[in-house]
Structure 1
Amino acid sequence: MDAEEIARLSDAKLIDCYLNRVDNPGNIFNSENVLLNYLPHLFIQIFLVVVATRVMFGILKPLHQPHFVAELLAGFMINIYIPIMDDTPFGMALSAKGILGFETISQLGVIYYVFVTGLEMNLDTLLRARKKASTIAIVGTIIPMILGFGIYFLVEKSIIKNGEFNKISAYLLWSLVVTITSFPVVAHILSDLKILYTGLGRIALTSATINDFINWAMFIFLIPLIINGKRGIVSVILTIVFSNFCYFVLRPPLNKILEEKTEENEWDLYQLSYVLVGVIACATVTEFLGTHSVVGALIFGLILPRGKFTEMLIEQSEDIGSGYLAPLFFASIGMRSRVVPILHENLFLAIYIMILLICAKIVSAIIATRFYGMPIRDGMALGVIMNTKGILSLIILNIGWSRKVVSGEAFTIMVFSIFFMTVVVAPVINVMYKPRVTYEQNKLRTIENLKVDSEIRVMACVHNVRQAIGMIHILEAWNGTNVSPLRVFGLQLVERKGRATALLVAQIDQQQQSSSLQNGLQSGDQLSEKNNYSSNHINNVFEEYSTNNANTLVENLVAMSSYSTIHKDIYNLALQKQASLVILPFHKQNTAEGTLEVTDPGFKVINQNVMQDAPCSVGIFVDRGHHTSLFKTKMRILMIFIGGPDDREALAIAWRMSKHPWTRLTMVRILLCGKVAEVDSKGYSEGGGLLSTILDTEKQKELDEEYVNSFRLTAVNNEDTITYAEREVHTGEDISELLNELDKVGYDLHILGYGRGRNSLVLTNLLEWADCPELGVIGDMLASNSFGSNSSIFVVQQYGFGAVDFKKSHCIKAKCQNDDDIEALFPKAE
């Protein structure tokens, strides 16, 4: 083809081609120079997609939208049709040369994305799923598929202009897309909305998992038939044989090798690349068998071991896989969709079709939930959640478009419907379902205000096994009785990075542990045999504690979210479980030298966020490493009382612990006199909240006197294991000397209040010098390495006295330096 013929055909708009100049004379490399003619176009397009995706995600982040919505919207924006220009604004960048390479790399992205989806799925869920979730998933597949046939008939008669697409394959493909629910996207939305661990969240996530598994099974069986007709039966049979080979033959030796190398920490990036090569190999096999390359990637992800290896693999490959490769596929789908012309010509009809598509899942969810007596509102909310689409729906549409099973009009309508259905899920659920309204009646729960015969509910939060072992040290001091039992909720806090990895695993663990508690089974040992990683070790620690302590029940929970928002999960779980106290681990841990060193700065941020707006009392536990069981030795506890609601709550906890037969409690009341007792009225009124404006200094003293006298008359006079003492302090140096004197006795645990309501000018100013303000003034000093204490510390904040604002500066440092007592009183913590 010469240049004149190319110009003639281009003017006639018959074909779109470009000059192919041969740079390599060899038969194999008989093509253009890739580095000069293809790579620059590909680089520009990838750069354009990545920038557009990041911008869209930043805009949609406050709306709790998943990544794939931003990626799809970026594709829409890049390829948006402008009638005045009769082209897209980035038409020059979207050249044919670059698109070829762009589409090829995007297929690598979708293969990796599906592989990670396989890692996130767990086939055991199908065996342990409850009837309610299974019914919702099955009904949510059958009814939308039936309605999908009718909806496509409307699309085919009213929008599709070319009759050649009127095939049974198109009906099947369209209906299959309608039935899809993506559980990774559902988990992301539920986690961001902080309803993942509610009743609705658990049902929605389990139903979405089962629905997603059914959709993948239908994909394997139907897509070969849709594409190849009767010849597709051979592809289905061969794919099933390959799946059985991978699961029963390849999986056992492969898992053994991977687990051994993981336990020995022998992995590096070069060795991990072999795993990704395995993904491509399995994808190639299923593509050759006539199914699709993503099926092989999914199978390979399903057969790999869960736990530490999976977390490590995703962490190492997250950036390049989900950060750069996967968005290219979503963007390519968006670039194929000419939304503006379709909506301009058939706007009202397109809206009507989208409403029908949304109603298909909602109707099925309402029908299924009515069998179990669930409210219609919850059924509608489940239906909206089950409308969440993901990558599988786009893969199916991409196959239909590429193989000319569906028309461009039907493709665009469905892509935009998928985008719209997923976008509206978060805002609608946020309006329909608000857990705080449900649990509002359970507020004002504190240890001080609980009745003597009430069950005490404590939520113990941990990040790792070491913190769990240390948390048992303080939980053992609580005395569960037949009249007043103790219920402990062991909450493991897991940071979510990137995709919703292990969210499903956490949900399954909760169901297993609840079942084991009811049946008296020691499922923790069974779990550790299957998955030897931190989550199961933590479960075992709490379950062993429950076994060794009478009148104590333990329930293991998991909260997975980003550290910046995980405190909201703690709020919701504390409300749901009606906890009276939340115990948080200190962000520093004890070393072999006896000093405290920072474990993770993010832990400190979590503790401060929880204290700002917790729905119950909060305690921070500074573990000094004394992990001897109370059944082997007695625990000596020192309670330091100065005054205020936090100290009264701390005294209530110490009082409860004193009833344990193996504890010895000493309460020392520090009386502020002289300069230390100067009133700080301004700080008191501003920092205390609503209650501080009502209770003045004298009222606080009256409450303190009343509670301390009750403790002395009831506890001290009737127990030989409880002692009480009063000490006066007149200056800041007196407080420092007194604390040093008390610490020399060698107590195992110090219990004290955070310090709100003390109304002392000196103590208020000292808070500005605190290295760890979440511990309060006295707690910060005791936790300082320069203080040299070997005792564990438990700092308590009582609910109902206003939130603590750690970001607000209470005084200027230069002003604090004018007080001669400041620098001498508390040395800075290292």
Structure 2
Amino acid sequence: MKILKLNLHDEGLEMMIILIAKTFFMVTCNHVNEVGVSNSELGRLACTVSLVLDIVAFLFNFAWENITKPVIAGDYWHPLMTIGTYILMFTVCRPLVIYIISYTPEGGHVKETHFLAILLTVLSIHFFSLQVHQFLAVFLFGISLPEEPLSSILHEKLDAITSSLLFPLFSAVYGIRADFNSLNPNSFKIELILIMGAFGKFFGTLVSSMVFGVHLRTALALSIIMASRGFISLITIGQYRLQGVMSREQSTIMQMHILFFTGALLPLVRHIYKPSTRYSTVIRQGVITSSETGTLQVLSCIFKEENLPGILRLLQAFHPSTEKNPIPVIALQLIPLNAAGVSVPILAPLHEIQSSPAYRSNLSRCNRTVNALVSVVRKTNGAIHPQHYISVSPYTAMHNDICNVSHDNHVNLLVLPFHAQWTDYNSSKGFQDPSQPIRDVNKMVLDMAPCSVGILVDRGDQNLANLNDGYRVVIFFIGGVDDQEALAFTTIFANNPRIRLSVVRLKSITKTQSNNGDCEDNVAINSFKLRCVDNERVSFEEVIVNDGGETTNVLVKMKDEIDLAVVGRYHDPGCNQLLGLSDRWCDYPELGTLGDMLVSSEFGFSILVVQE
């Protein structure tokens, strides 16, 4: 500053330097959310680092500004009033809000009187905190409360008005207050200091990250996120401007610096760091490749409680030959994170997360899933013993958790529930409660999964999670890698004495596939027959069909003889068996041509669509 001939005792300049050095947890959470890496290794690292820095900075600043400094000046009332405000907030207001929330049933809507009481409590805390100059007291109060159902309540009631109206107005007002006429040749020196501070923080994060073994691309992305500013900085600048700490020139320069520096660098994170790179470059695992290791690892995803009956029936169908050789199954419970802007996503085994606030706030929902999985262990005498993982993340990034668990646990088949719920075959209502966010997650997983994927369309009895005797499974085999993968998977059903397994190969007289493709199909069929030889519950049938119409007739004739149909997702567009059934007219392209036809209201059985 001496070299640049700037005033060393300028309070506004000191505040600018301190503000550039600070890292705000809320801003970091918002940034990793915007670039879509909130539940990746980078996102969790950035949020954890910023939270630690925020806590340390807050404690030191609180001790100096509100205790040490006033006491030195002989002011004893300010420390007492500040500490009293926090005691009142955590000992009276927090229990009061939790007590009010307890009257809201799970999945129900909060009463208007209860919501107004919570809002009045928050406003009262904000009023008292402003009197003692504690601008972040409301934020600390918010993170001390259980996330559910409060986050859902506030998101539903206030998100539209705060995100779409108040925050844009706030930003516009502070933008109008920027005075470009106040800039002078001396402003370049101030901006140079800000740039040096930002790059110092950037290179400091980069070097320290690489020293501790962080990959270069991850370290670069982390450095950009940590050096970026956000809305908390804008609020602080506005407060300093109103208090006269910063001049018009300084506040204008600071706003321009945040706008251009963050706006130019933060989008680069999308191009530097891609979470899918971690599992997209590995050798992909599949059901067929599991024969080399002798172990089939299955991951079942659970988006909501309605998915449980179908998943449980599928798990019970995995019947190993001995209890000493159980089939490894992972159950991943996916909980949407509504307040994604200021919350850290979580992915961990159940036993590691049971003591966390995220688990306690979803306690009843998690416990019902746990009890259902325990019942599977009991009904199979321990032959099926699922590992239970919990994922709390926004829908936009949920596919990262699914793919990461699949990659880390060497999963061969990943089972995803269909995004809509079947009502009743007899009522002809078809599907209800379709969830577009869940559908988007399924599509992303289909594109990025490091293993084979199966989409389960459950049409079984929602009140019955047990596998009935004489459960009928049919696989329709046309040809191709997806059908070969589906056939290899259905072999596991042959060990279950409750299941009758049928393989229906739909063949065409006219050959449209390559000889290599026919050869691989024949190898898969012969391998299946060899494994199921002398098994009376397994049957094999070949049916000649010449077009999609004849294929449809075969399926319609068998519809009352099927409980679960297994099909491959992709088939050669030129195959005669699907001639006339175009992908362009599919309502659900993620199910493929054959799966999309089977999901229509004409059929009432469950479907598992497999992608290799």
Give the TM-score taking structure 2 as reference length: 0.83
Partner of 2:556: 740
Partner of 1:599: 433
Partner of 2:78: 235
1:118-157 Cα deviation digits (max 9, x unpaired):
xxxxxxxxxxxxxxxxxxxxxxxxxxxxxxxxxxx569x6
Partner of 1:393: 233
Partner of 2:486: 650
Partner of 2:515: 698
Task: Tell whether the 8 Å contact from 1:639 to 1:667 is kept in structure 2 after alignment.
Answer: yes
Does residue 130 of structure 2 align to residue 282 of structure 1? no
Task: Tell whether the 8 Å contact from 2:148 to 2:361 is kept in structure 1 after alignment.
Answer: no
Compute the displacement of 1:311 (Å). 0.9
Does residue 239 of structure 2 align to residue 402 of structure 1? no
1:248-294 Cα deviation digits (max 9, x unpaired):
23322431222213448363456523332222211111223x224x3
Partner of 1:180: 22
Partner of 2:157: 316
Q: Which of 226, 248, 255 matches 2:98?
A: 255
Task: Tell whether the 8 Å contact from 1:524 to 1:540 is kept in structure 2 after alignment.
Answer: no
1:1-29 Cα deviation digits (max 9, x unpaired):
xxxxxxxxxxxxxxxxxxxxxxxxxxxxx
Q: Which of 170, 174, 190 matches 1:333?
A: 174
**Structure 1 579/397 Cα, relative in aligned 2: closer, same or farther at 3 Å?**
same
Partner of 2:5: 158
Number of aligned residue pairs: 601
Q: Which of 717, 741, 745 matches 2:533?
A: 717
Distance 1:176 1:549 in 2: 60
What are the equivalent positions in structure 2 for 1:405-424 lying under 5 Å apart?
405-424=245-264
Distance 1:611 1:411 in 2: 48
**Structure 1 669/598 Cα, relative in aligned 2: closer, same or farther at 3 Å?**
same
Task: Tell whether the 8 Å contact from 1:658 to 1:665 is kept in structure 2 after alignment.
Answer: yes
Higher percent of residues as helix: 1
**Structure 1 217/401 Cα, relative in aligned 2: closer, same or farther at 3 Å?**
farther
Partner of 1:52: none
| 5+ residue gaps, structure 1 | 1-152, 517-522, 680-695, 799-830
SS for the counterpart of 2:293 is coil
**Structure 1 299/775 Cα, relative in aligned 2: closer, same or farther at 3 Å?**
closer
Compute the displacement of 1:379 (Å). 4.3
Percent identical among aligned pairs is: 23
**Structure 1 593/705 Cα, relative in aligned 2: closer, same or farther at 3 Å?**
closer
1:767-795 Cα deviation digits (max 9, x unpaired):
355443433343333322233x2x21101
Counterpart amino acid of residue 165 in structure 2: Y
Distance 1:374 1:202 in 2: 13
Counterpart amino acid of residue 166 in structure 1: D
SS for the counterpart of 2:110 is coil
**Structure 1 264/233 Cα, relative in aligned 2: closer, same or farther at 3 Å?**
farther
Distance 2:370 2:577 in 1: 44
SS for the counterpart of 1:492 is strand
SS for the counterpart of 2:340 is coil
Task: Tell whether the 8 Å contact from 2:478 to 2:507 is kept in structure 1 after alignment.
Answer: yes
Does residue 306 of structure 2 align to residue 466 of structure 1? yes
Does residue 503 of structure 2 align to residue 667 of structure 1? yes
**Structure 1 636/182 Cα, relative in aligned 2: closer, same or farther at 3 Å?**
farther
Does residue 459 of structure 2 align to residue 624 of structure 1? yes
What are the equivalent positions in structure 2 for 1:747-786 lying under 5 Å apart?
747-757=562-572, 759-761=574-576, 763-767=578-582, 768-786=584-602
Does residue 87 of structure 2 align to residue 244 of structure 1? yes
Task: Tell whether the 8 Å contact from 1:583 to 1:619 is kept in structure 2 after alignment.
Answer: yes
SS for the counterpart of 2:104 is helix
Distance 2:75 2:31 in 1: 36
Distance 1:236 1:389 in 2: 30
SS for the counterpart of 1:620 is strand
Q: Which of 38, 41, 49 matches 1:207?
A: 49
**Structure 1 452/661 Cα, relative in aligned 2: closer, same or farther at 3 Å?**
farther
Counterpart amino acid of residue 280 in structure 1: L
1:133-191 Cα deviation digits (max 9, x unpaired):
xxxxxxxxxxxxxxxxxxxx569x6345xx8x535x974x4454234323333233323
Partner of 1:117: none
SS for the counterpart of 1:640 is strand
**Structure 1 416/701 Cα, relative in aligned 2: closer, same or farther at 3 Å?**
same
**Structure 1 551/567 Cα, relative in aligned 2: closer, same or farther at 3 Å?**
closer
Partner of 2:196: 355
SS for the counterpart of 2:572 is coil
Distance 1:775 1:656 in 2: 22
Q: Which of 572, 576, 581 matches 2:413?
A: 581
Distance 1:525 1:281 in 2: 29
Distance 2:26 2:371 in 1: 28
SS for the counterpart of 2:48 is helix
Give the TM-score taking structure 1 as reference length: 0.63
**Structure 1 203/476 Cα, relative in aligned 2: closer, same or farther at 3 Å?**
farther
Distance 2:494 2:391 in 1: 28
Task: Tell whether the 8 Å contact from 1:524 to 1:539 is kept in structure 2 after alignment.
Answer: no
**Structure 1 404/310 Cα, relative in aligned 2: closer, same or farther at 3 Å?**
same
Distance 1:515 1:608 in 2: 29
Distance 2:341 2:527 in 1: 52
Counterpart amino acid of residue 235 in structure 1: H
Task: Tell whether the 8 Å contact from 1:338 to 1:412 is kept in structure 2 after alignment.
Answer: yes
Task: Tell whether the 8 Å contact from 1:194 to 1:572 is kept in structure 2 after alignment.
Answer: no
Distance 1:662 1:154 in 2: 85
Distance 2:327 2:175 in 1: 58
Counterpart amino acid of residue 794 in structure 1: L
Determine which structure has greater relative contact order: mean sequence separation of CA pairs < 8 Å that are 6+ residues apart, divided by chain length: 2
1:378-418 Cα deviation digits (max 9, x unpaired):
44543332223334333333333332334444434443444
SS for the counterpart of 2:571 is coil
SS for the counterpart of 1:744 is helix
SS for the counterpart of 1:488 is strand
| 5+ residue gaps, structure 2 | none
Counterpart amino acid of residue 340 in structure 2: A
Compute the displacement of 1:487 (Å). 4.6
Task: Tell whether the 8 Å contact from 1:543 to 1:554 is kept in structure 2 after alignment.
Answer: no
SS for the counterpart of 1:701 is helix
Partner of 1:38: none
Structure 1 residues 697-706 or 186-195, which shifts more? 186-195
**Structure 1 466/212 Cα, relative in aligned 2: closer, same or farther at 3 Å?**
farther
Compute the displacement of 1:211 (Å). 2.7
**Structure 1 326/558 Cα, relative in aligned 2: closer, same or farther at 3 Å?**
same
SS for the counterpart of 1:639 is strand
Task: Tell whether the 8 Å contact from 2:89 to 2:125 is kept in structure 1 after alignment.
Answer: no
Compute the displacement of 1:605 (Å). 4.8
Counterpart amino acid of residue 610 in structure 2: V
Counterpart amino acid of residue 275 in structure 1: I
After superposition, the CA RMSD in angstroms is 3.9
Counterpart amino acid of residue 199 in structure 2: I
**Structure 1 373/703 Cα, relative in aligned 2: closer, same or farther at 3 Å?**
closer
Partner of 2:607: 793
Compute the displacement of 1:447 (Å). 1.8
**Structure 1 631/201 Cα, relative in aligned 2: closer, same or farther at 3 Å?**
same
Task: Tell whether the 8 Å contact from 1:621 to 1:795 is kept in structure 2 after alignment.
Answer: yes
Distance 2:242 2:278 in 1: 49
Distance 2:569 2:21 in 1: 54
Partner of 1:139: none
Distance 1:264 1:763 in 2: 44
Task: Tell whether the 8 Å contact from 2:423 to 2:431 is kept in structure 1 after alignment.
Answer: yes
Distance 1:345 1:733 in 2: 80
